[in-house]
Structure 1
Amino acid sequence: MGCGPWGRARRSDARAYGVEMGRRRGFFAELQHQAAVAQRERERAQAAAVREQLRAQREADRALDAAGRARVAAAKADERAAAEAEREAKRLHIAAQESKVAAMNAHLEMQLAEIDSILEATLKVDDYVDLEKLRKSASHPPFESKYQAPVPPPAPIQVPAEPVYMQPEAPKGLSALTGKKKHAATVAAAWAAFEEQHRQWQAYSASIPMRQLEQLTAHTAAEEQRLQSLASARARYDKECQTRQAEVDAANAELDVLIHNFQAGKQDAVTEYVGIVFGNSVYPDSVPWAVDHEYDQESRELRISLTFPQPGDLPTVRQYRYVKAKDEVTESPQTLKEQRDRYSSVVENMVLRTLHEVWESDRDGKIDSISLAGGVEHIDPATGQETFTPLIAVAVDRATFDAIDLARVMPAETLKYLKAVVSKNPHALARIDTSAGVRGH
């Protein structure tokens, strides 16, 4: 895991321990880290402490809403009801503040529990990383295009029915005697109209084959255009699929090289594998940390530089209280001893957790020993410059560490057993002597 920029003092301390600083998470380590963070958030969402915090927060929100509504009601009430409404508003305000404090304490309790279980948390999981499971496969969306459906064929042009001449009805009765001339004119007009209608029908019928040809030609052109557009869309889709597949193939080829070199015990591959392991290691949000590491193939030793959170990064509040008389939320601070003890515990547990994660993940036995140096980045109060203060140094071989049951130990005693050099007061950033290096102690 990358540590970011290191000050001059930090780099010199790191070199004193034989660790070259500045390494950042590789591609596979970053993937694992993001997956581990997401998994941690899912587990946290299911935790009872989180559910209690959310319940308390919802209760606080409801109480605040109720108090607000009561104040509005009090402002609108008459004089007699106003006093009662004001009392109700005050009661609801107190309830809201108490619910708010309950939510704050639930969150604080969760934070402290996470901090105090840094070592315990890693003992519940298997830190081994199966590199084959990092192999990727391309996921392609289904091909979709508005040009997939054929252009609907045009409706056929129908030949209308041929006109039929209808003879006007002849006059009857007296009209038959006197209206012959008029009837003849009517018949002549009807016949003329029929002939014109029939002529138009013949002309229309004669035009249908050409119109059908034009219709077919237009449909054929539209369908050809659709097929061209569909082919272009398919070509773009295929190219996108090829790009995705090429990226996956490149990543898998890189993974193949990593697996091959790791099996051969190559220095860079073992270093990268450990980076993937550290990428899986997710600490509480209130415990910022960083780690640099380098594997030496010749000595089969892993050199680690661990960066602890600053003492001020950890919560210093023991409990929140609501004081009705002053209508304010106050903090009950942890004693200085509590803060010192918790910070020392964080340092001790982070060191043992880091050693454990490496040994448990190294099933193939590539690493024979570990030398670890840990400290804190901070501003030197004397110079105002960024500096790195070393707080702990330890060197241990596999056999010695494998004999330790971390589920049953007292971390401080374990570090004594491992002959670690530990700051006399980590909380005060009392530095250890780095002149002899890790193994020089």
Structure 2
Amino acid sequence: MAKSLLSVTLKAMKAAEKDRVRRAKAAERRSLAERREAAQQAKAYEAKVRKAVIADERDRTAYEKAVKAAHAAAQQSEVERMSSEIDAVLDDLEGLLAATIDVDDHIDLETLRKPFDTTPFDMPDLEISLVAPKRPTFPPEPTYLEPDKPKGFFGKKRKLEEARAIARQIHETQKAEWASSVSALSEEYKIQLAAYDKAEAERIETLAAEKDRFRQELDDHNRSIDQFITNLSYGDAEAVQEYISLIVENSTYPDHFKVTHEFSFAPETAELRMSVTIPSPDKFPATKEYKYIKTSDEIRDVPLSQMEIKKRYASVLHQVAIRSLHEVFEADRRGLIRTISLEVGTKAQHPATGRLDFLPFVGVSAERDSFMEFDLSGLVPLATLKHLGAAISKDPVGLVAVDVTGVRKS
């Protein structure tokens, strides 16, 4: 079964959910955006005031004071924005495990089907009929205008006949020009109508062909889902491997915290061996907040203490380990995976060799039935890892790896 069919479908669903969360966060920070806009207006006012020529010294002093106040307000607003962003990042990292507790990680494969009646056609423009050419509007046929009767006492009859002859000649010329114009417009409309009929017929023919192609692709996709579900029910190793890939793809971490997974499934022992890579310590947030120093007119970051960074990085590490075990076991309702042997670490230069390598900071093995009895809302990740007999780095920020050879593997 082509992996892309399932992955693309799941990624689309995942993208929609991330978009919903993104909109919610945007709404929460709307007040901050309003303050930022006010700060920008203050800066604009500041620039305007600086250019103004104020004759009265008393007014000048007042304006200069206002400028300084506006500038300070703008700087403080920027500090609030920057601090809010770092707070959001730190909150995300502190809640990595909590973010998955209320989420059902099971993937209902039935939802990956694409019914023909409800799946949007991928070439909707073909469903729109072409616009037929408008019938031409013909100019009115010229009418013969009887000339006025000549004035005077002599030769009125002769003059009238001459005027009538000229009028008839003008009328015939106008009528010929009119007939030619009508004929040209009619011929042009005939050509446009023929081109339209041809194009519309081609559209209808193409639409039918593309609908058949679309239906066939949906049928192929749905058959692949059927086959996948069947294979998974039999515990087929490739199907289990594919299902696990869907699970990890469906695991939504913050955009600023990239997590990757590598894994292999051994059907003979029903064991999943998984390696999870998190960002290295040097990419971990090191700022606690921002402050505006009015005396020097600068914004400075307030760094996290080294102890705080170690505490937060270790917390993230432990949360990811418990979360990874939980997501796989919870998603695997069939109980195909009995044991998970997990390593969580980062890719960095090995202190001993200087080479870029995977450094494990946590190594743990968990058995499905006992792990699923844990209450994630009440546990402490570090305590749980110790309870499972995990190998845990004492200093992951210092890139001190653990020996995972002692972690039980079937």
Q: Normalised by the size of structure 2, how large is the TM-score?
A: 0.82
1:426 counterpart SS class: coil
Q: CA deviation at 1:243?
A: 4.4
Q: Show structure 2 runs of 5+ residues with no match.
A: none
Q: 1:284 aligns with which of 249, 254, 262?
A: 254
Shift of 1:248: 3.3
1:327 deviation in Å? 1.7
1:256 aligns with: 226
Decide which of 349, 356, 370 is 1:400's aligned counterpart.
370
1:234 lines up with 2:218 in the alignment = no
In 2 relative to 1, CA 54–202 (structure 1 residues): closer, same or farther, beyond 3 Å? closer
Superposed counterparts of 1:115-194, under 5 Å: 115-136=93-114, 137-139=119-121, 140-141=123-124, 143-146=127-130, 148-149=131-132, 152=135, 182=154, 186-187=156-157, 190=160
1:46 and 1:218, CA in 2 relative to 1: closer, same or farther beyond 3 A? closer
Distance 2:16 2:187 in 1: 59
* Distance (Å, rounded) in 2 between the aligned partners of 1:210 and 1:86: 80
Match of 2:68 in 1: 90
Gaps of 5+ in 1: 1-24, 172-178
- Match of 1:408, SS state, is coil
Range 361-370 or range 54-63, more displaced? 54-63
CA shift for structure 1 position 55: 2.5
Q: Which has the larger radius of gyration?
A: 1
Letter of the aligned partner of 1:73 in structure 2? V
> How far is 1:425 from its partner?
2.0
Instruction: Name the SS of the counterpart of 2:364 in structure 1.
Output: strand
1:316 counterpart (286, 297, 300)? 286
Amino acid at match of 1:144: I
Worse-superposed segment, 235-244 or 283-292: 235-244
What SS class does the counterpart of residue 347 from structure 2 fall into? strand
- The CA distance in 1 between the partners of 2:297 and 2:172, in whole Å, is 100
Counterpart of 1:63, as a letter, is A
Residue 325 (structure 1) aligned with residue 325 (structure 2): no
Q: Is the 8 A contact 1:54 1:103 kept in 2?
A: no
The structure, 1 or 2, with the larger RCO (C-alpha pairs under 8 Å, 6+ apart) is 1
The reply on whether 1:379 has 2:349 as its aligned counterpart is yes
Taking structure 1 as reference, are residues 377 and 160 closer, same or farther at Cα in structure 2, changes over 3 Å only?
same
Question: Is the 8 Å Cα contact of residues 127 and 361 (structure 1) preserved in structure 2?
Answer: yes
Structure 1, 133-142 or 309-318: larger mean CA deviation: 133-142
Aligned to 1:77: 54
What letter is aligned with 2:34? R
What CA distance in whole angstroms lies between the structure 2 residues aligned with 1:44 and 1:159? 69
Displacement, 1:346? 0.8
Distance apart, 1:205 and its partner CA: 10
**Distance change >3 Å, CA 230–CA 364, structure 1 → 2:** same
Cα distance 1:262–1:138, how it changes in 2: closer, same or farther (>3 A)?
farther
Aligned residues: 400
Return the match for 1:56 from 32, 52, 55: 32
Displacement of 1:407 after TM fit?
Answer: 0.9
Partner of 2:408: 439
2:291 and 2:140 map into 1 onto residues whose CA distance is 87
Deviation at 1:262, TM superposition (A): 1.6
271-280 or 235-244: which moved more? 235-244
User: Hey, what's the Cα distance between the residues in 1 that align with 2:84 and 2:68?
Assistant: 24
Cα root mean square deviation, aligned: 3.6
